[in-house]
Chains A and B, each alone.
Chain A
Amino acid sequence: MNDPGKFILPMLGITVPHPFDDSEWRYEIKWDGYRCQIHWTDRLQVFSRSGRDLLQPFPDLADLAQLFDVPVILDGELIAWENGAPSYYALQKRAPLPHRVVVFDCLYADGEWLCAKPLATRLERMHRVVTTQGKIVVADGIIQKGTALWQSVRDRGLEGVMAKHLGSPYLPGKRVGYWKKFLVMTRQWTKVFTISQSSEGQWLWRMSPGNDSRAVIGTLPAPPGWSAEAQDVMTEKGKGSRPIWRLNRPLVVEVEYRELTTRGKMRHGRIRQWQYHT
């Protein structure tokens, strides 16, 4: 770990089922975006979780270079901001929206490696080398009150909470218990074989967990811009007065939801990303 220009595997967190409170822990909002590692050394590099160059798909991030005075490596989450919330879908689609990097860790600053230092020290250094400006937002954190933060995060429909032990080092590429995430939403890949239409004309996708188009865990409005006119659709049958159309080309859709009802339907479901079935 001598060259600050080289990508470092990001540290990962384990998923835990329940939130907890602990005064040795810091709790942050888990933002739904792309993991993002910023290196500003002799030049700017922005890496994805796997080390891909994020300046390629998001060239607007190039102006991050103007925000630093000393060489740094920062860990954070790239988000696309839409209507008051991060949109993972918009990142996937490279939609023209404002991008921000919420930075939450500092691995290197002004010639010094910080990975072995405790999180509390790294955060202190982070606040000294970077402030909220341009496309950078410095993450806020709350000590001890993990349960309360999780409840607030859930009320606002955000992804979840990251809990980090204040005394822990940064362990590149490791998924260990120093970082724990408790998610508000359950994610699941589903298929859309059939669609219907609301009385207002909005297309509705019917999500099936498996290959049986009759087993549906929920119906969600199709994303803006998607229209069935462009597809070849076949009318299946009228359930009551509302017809159901079968798509000739099914969709593969990742949904997230708070929980399943006793009858197996999604509560607070929404689309996270989608593509045509290949």
Chain B
Amino acid sequence: MRSLYKGVIGFGLVSIPIQVYKALDDEKVEVHWLHKICGSRIQYQKYCPVCRTEVEAGQLVRGAPVPNGRYVVLDDEPQETPAHDHTVSIISFHLLNAIDPVYYKQAYWLKPMAGGHKGYRLLRDTMEQTNLVALAELTLRSKLSLAVVRAYEGSTLMMHTLHYPESLRQEGTRFGEISVPVSDKEQDMARILVKHMQEPFVPERYPNLAKRQLLERIQALMPTARNTQNYQATEEVISLMEQLRESVSHETRLG
């Protein structure tokens, strides 16, 4: 497992050096589009349909669409690296269930580095004992993001990046506000059913069958794997012809 980047957790006056690792495997198996006829991996071009030409990186600008099909062009400001890049600055502590799961984005493992073990341990154990999680601001390559740092089972800290709360579409919160009469009896029956179906969460019971099947299919197809690096073919044909010419010029007539 390769670390994504190194950084520090800023906690009051203490800095805890850490490395950040992705916590979850991609659930999708990597597949690419190939040209069915020759098997080459296809490329995407940035194409201007009006000038009928491929557009190079230097000729691209970003534009934000505004009403009536118009755009305002955003001149990219020169990127300056902030002083506190790669920093997880803790803002406040909250109960875990006070932050709704809707806001959670990606999960990361945090690994202490030299000089950080004690602070790491103290922060982790304190959050576990108090049942609190840390809300933090993450600076990564001059981009800001909200994050939660929390104690994970055992002895580890985990970080989750968060969506900004204002991104939540509020109209959905009212979707259930339709008045329907529910009797006590119905309520009791539902409760009994739910309680009956309650059980401990056992992660192993929920394998990703579709991914496993696809990986098995790929494994079975391994004998048919082809190297279709199209652009090399001409070089190889020419090199073969040259090798033969070379070997002929070195051979004696009746050898």
Contacts and interface: CB of A to CB of B under 8 A. Distances in A.
Given A98-B228, A137-B234, A152 B34 contact: no
Contact of B223 (A79, A137, A225): A225
Contacts of B227: 83
Interface string A177-221: 000000000000000000000000000000000000000000000
Q: Which 9 A-B pairs have the closest CB atoms?
A: A96-B39, A98-B233, A81-B233, A140-B241, A98-B230, A148-B251, A225-B224, A224-B223, A148-B248
A96 B38 contact: yes
A102 B228 CA distance: 19
A111 B135 CA distance: 79
Q: Which range contains the number of A residues in contact with the other chain? A: 35 or more
A95 interface: yes
Q: Which range contains the number of B residues in contact with the other chain? A: 20 to 34
B209 interface: no
B255 A58 contact: no
Interface of A: 21, 29, 58-60, 79, 81-85, 95-100, 102, 132-133, 137, 139-140, 142, 145, 147-149, 151-153, 155-156, 224-225
Contacts of B226: 82, 95-97
Contacts of A79: 237
A151 B244 CA distance: 10
26 contacts: A21-B253, A29-B244, A60-B35, A60-B38, A79-B237, A81-B236, A81-B237, A82-B226, A85-B240, A95-B39, A96-B37, A98-B233, A132-B234, A132-B238, A140-B241, A140-B244, A145-B249, A147-B253, A148-B247, A148-B248, A152-B247, A152-B251, A156-B243, A224-B223, A225-B221, A225-B224
B217 interface: no
A149 B248 contact: yes
Contacts of A84: 236, 240
A221 to B, nearest CB: 10
Contacts of A151: 251, 255
Given A58-B37, A60-B35, A97-B228, A156 B240 contact: yes
A176 B151 CA distance: 86
B224 A153 contact: no
Given A98-B230, A148-B251, A148-B253, A140 B37 contact: no
A60 B42 CA distance: 13
